[in-house]
Amino acid sequence: MKTASYAAEAAKDILHPYTIERRELHDKDVLIEIDYCGVCHTDLHFVNNDWGMTEYPVVPGHEIVGKITEVGSSVSKFKVGDTAAIGCMVNACGKCASCETGNEQYCHAGFTATYNSPIDDPGGFTYGGYSQRIVADESFILKIPVNLELTGTAPLLCAGITTYSPLQHWSVTKGMKVGVVGLGGLGHMGVKFAHAMGAHTVMITTTPEKGNDAKSLGADQVLVSTDTDAMAKEVGEFDFILNTIPVDHKIDPYLDLLKVDGTMCVVGAVEPLSQVNAAQLMFGRKKLAGSLIGGIQQTQDMLNFCGEHNIISDVEVIRMNQIQEAFERLVKSDVKYRFVIDMKSISAA
Amino acid sequence: MKTASYAAEAAKDILHPYTIERRELHDKDVLIEIDYCGVCHTDLHFVNNDWGMTEYPVVPGHEIVGKITEVGSSVSKFKVGDTAAIGCMVNACGKCASCETGNEQYCHAGFTATYNSPIDDPGGFTYGGYSQRIVADESFILKIPVNLELTGTAPLLCAGITTYSPLQHWSVTKGMKVGVVGLGGLGHMGVKFAHAMGAHTVMITTTPEKGNDAKSLGADQVLVSTDTDAMAKEVGEFDFILNTIPVDHKIDPYLDLLKVDGTMCVVGAVEPLSQVNAAQLMFGRKKLAGSLIGGIQQTQDMLNFCGEHNIISDVEVIRMNQIQEAFERLVKSDVKYRFVIDMKSISAA
C-alpha cells in the first residue's frame, strides 16, 4: 500500500498550508495545535484516490481536537489555551440558503473541506488533521465540553455528527423504535446517540457475534438481518433506520422493516445502490434519504449533547507511524471502533 | 392478446359477486349502477397476470362512477339517485394505526382492493368496475361534486388520487417549484393538480413535442430531460418532483434537480429501480419516496378540490367491445390521457 505510506510521509514532511509559516493569521483565524485526529474511511479513499478527485500531496484528517495557541485580532469566541475542534469543513459561502439556515454542509457553492479543497489563501489545497497544527476561521471551530476525554472526542467531529445529524433531523426521541444498520465507526455512534435520545434502539447486523458489543454500547435489542424469521417479525415496526453500511448492499430487507411514513437514511454508502424497489416505498409512503455530516451549529449541539450524556467514541489510539497498519485494518473493519492518531507522535513518524 | 379479450368476455359474462344476485345488501351497503369506468394500466397488468397474483376470472376496473339505485337499511351518507364513485378500495380493517389516521391504503391487514381481493361474503374475490353494478360499504363510497362531468371524473378515482395525495402530503403550494415527470394518465393529472395548488409547475419530459400539451394542461414550464444544458440549469431548483414514469429508469438526473431537503416521490414504477445513487441523496439530504393512491377522506378531499377548481381528466370514451384495442394502445401510451368505458355499452360488448 504505497499510497497509505505516502500519507504518513506527507504528514511528516509537508508544511501545513494553514500554519503561520504559510499564512499570517487573519483577524478571525484561530491556530490549533493538534492533539488527536481520528482516522475516517474517507481519509483512505482520498489517499488511494478511490474517487478520482485527490489532489496530491494530500494530508487527510477531519476529526481534529487540540489546543488553541494563537488567535487573530478579532476572534471573539475563543482564547489561547482553549480546547477546540475542527470537523470536515473549514469554510463555506455564508450567503446561500443552506448557509443561512445553518446547513453549511449543503452550501450551494460547495463548502471548503478540511482537506483536499481548493483555497485562495495561500493557494493550493487545504491540508487536514494528520498534522501538527491547523488554522481556520473561528466560525468553523467547535468548543469541546470540559468533561469529554479528548481521544474519544476526535471521532465525534465526523462519525459523531454524521450519525447525530439525521437522528436529530428526523426527531428521534422516546417512544420511537430506531434501527441502526452496521456496527462500525458510524454505527457504534448511531447506537449511542439513538439510545441517549430515548429511542428503543435496535442494532441490525449480519453478525450475531456483534450482539453483546452492541448491547454494551446501548442497544436495547439486536436484530440479526440474516435470520429471516427474526426479520419477518419486525416488518413494519421501525420509525426510523440509520443505515451506516459503507458499500452497495441489498436495501429491500431494511425498507421492509419501516412503518408507514418511516424513513431510512443512508449515511455510509457513497457508491450507487444497485437496486431499490420503488414498490416498497409506495406501499407505506416510505422514504429513502441521505444525510451528510451536519452544520456547524448542529455539530456544536452534538458536542454539547455528548457533554451532557457523557458520550464519546470507543477508540484505539495509534502513533503516526502506525497509520499504514491502521488503514489495512480499517479495510477489514478490524477496529473497535475508530483509530485516533496521537499527533504528538508525528515528529517520530 | 388473448388475455385482454378474455377480460372483455369476463366483463360481459360473469355475474358480479357484489350484485344483489350474489349478496343481499348489508345494512351499510350501497349499490351503484355503473355509468363509466376508467382504464388503468394496473387493469392490464392484472389481466395479463404480469405480477403473478391474478385470480381468474378477473374483472378489472377501479375508477368507477355511477348512480346509486339501492341502499342498505342503515346507510346515512347516501340515498337512491345520488351520483357516487368507488376507487381502488372497498374495505380495510378499520382498526390499525393507518386506518385510524385515514390512511386505509396502508392498512396493516391490507385493504380489500376493488378487484382481485379475497372476500368472505359471498366468498371468492372482488370484481371491479368493468361491470354493470357494484356494491360496497358506504364508508368506501365517494360523493361527486355536481359540477364535474362524469366521464372525466372516473379517472380521478385512481390517476387523480395517486397524484393528488403526494402533492398534498408534501404540502405543495404557491411559491414552490414542482416537477412532474412523465405525461400520461398520472402525469397529466399531476400537472393539473400542482398548477391548481399554486406551484410553479414544470413538466419534465423526454419528448419536446409534449410541451404544448403540457402547457395547455397547466404547466408553467417545460423541461426536456434529454437536453443536458437545460437540465444543468435546473440543478438544485426543485422543491418537489412527482415521478410518474411507470417503468425502471435512470433517476439520478431527476434527483439532481432537487433542492436541499427536497423530495422526489415515485408513483409509477412498481418494478425495481436498477440504480439509485445514494451519494446524491446525501449531498442535499434528499428523499426518494413512494406513495400509493390515498385514503378515503383524502380521496373525498381530492374530489371536492376538483369540484372547486373544475378539474377533470382528459379522456377518450370507449365502448366495452373496444377494450382490447384500448389495452393495445395503452401499452404504446397512445391515449390522451385516459380511456374510460361507457358501461351502458356492456350489453352490446
Of residues B14 and A172, more confidence is placed in A172
Instruction: Give the residue numbers spanning the domain of A32.
Output: 2-157+314-348
Chain A residues within 8 A of B283 when measuring between CB atoms:
106, 290, 292
Does B105 share its domain with B181? Answer: no
Average pLDDT, chain A: 92
**Angle between helix B2-13 and helix B323-331 axes, rounded to 10 deg:** 140
Q: Is A42 a member of any domain?
A: yes
Residue among B103, B274, B289 minimizing CB distance to A287: B289
* Closest-CA distance of chain B to residue A262, Å: 10
Rounded to the nearest 10 degrees, the angle between the axes of helix A185-196 and helix A296-309 is 70
Q: Are B140 and B286 members of one domain?
A: no
Instruction: State mean pLDDT over A265-285.
Output: 89
Out of B240, B258, B290, pick the residue that ends a domain.
B290
B93 at A interface, C-beta within 8 A: no
Report how many domains make up chain B.
2
Residue B9: predicted pLDDT: 44
CB contact under 8 A, A273 and B277: yes
pLDDT digits (tens, 9 = 90+) for B53-74: 999 999 999 999 999 999 999 9
Clarify whether residues A186 and A216 are in a common domain: yes
CB contact, 8 Å: B291 with chain A?
yes
Let me know: does B261 contact A169? Beta carbons within 8 Å: no
- Considering only CB atoms, which chain B residues are within 8 Å of A169? 285
CA–CA dist B156, B298 (Å, integer): 12
The residues, ordered by sequence, that sit 6+ positions from B295 with a Cβ below 8 Å of its Cβ are B101, B102, B103, B104, B105, B165
Chain B contacts of A274, Cβ < 8 Å?
A: 274-275
Q: State the Cα–Cα distance between residues A130 and A12, nearest whole angstrom.
A: 8
> Left, alpha or beta for A290 (phi > 0: left; psi -120 to 50: alpha)?
beta
* pLDDT tens profile B143-170: 999 999 999 999 999 999 999 999 999 9
For B2, residues 6+ apart whose C-beta sits below 8 A from its C-beta are none
pTM of the predicted model, to two decimals?
0.92
Selecting from A97, A279, A292 the residue whose C-beta is nearest the C-beta of B270 gives: A279
Residue-wise pLDDT for B238-249, tens only, equals 999 999 998 888
**CA–CA separation, B101 vs B104, rounded Å?**
8
Alpha-carbon separation of residue A132 from A3, A37, B86, B223 (angstroms): 21, 10, 71, 51
DSSP B109: T
Mean pLDDT over the full length of chain B? 91
| Residue B22 pLDDT grade (very low, low, confident, very high; cuts 50, 70, 90) | low
Residues B77 and B104 in one domain: yes
3-state class of B113 per DSSP? strand
Q: What percent of chain A has pLDDT over 70?
A: 93
Residue type, A77: K
* Residue that finishes a domain, picked among A257, A290, A323: A290
CATH code, B62: 3.90.180.10
- Name which of B98, B278, B287 is nearest A270 (Cβ-Cβ): B278
The pLDDT of residue A12 is 44
- Does residue B322 carry a pLDDT above 60? yes
Cα distances from A313 to residues A151, A152, A244, B138, in angstroms, run 8, 5, 16, 58
| Interface check A83 vs B, CB under 8 A | no
Across the interface, of A236, A289, A290, the residue whose CB is closest to B108 is A236
Q: Are residues A151 and A7 in the same domain?
A: yes
Same domain, A51 and A95: yes
Tell whether A181 and A266 lie within a shared domain: yes
Shortest Cα distance, chain B CAs vs residue A278, angstroms: 6
Give the pLDDT of residue A348: 57
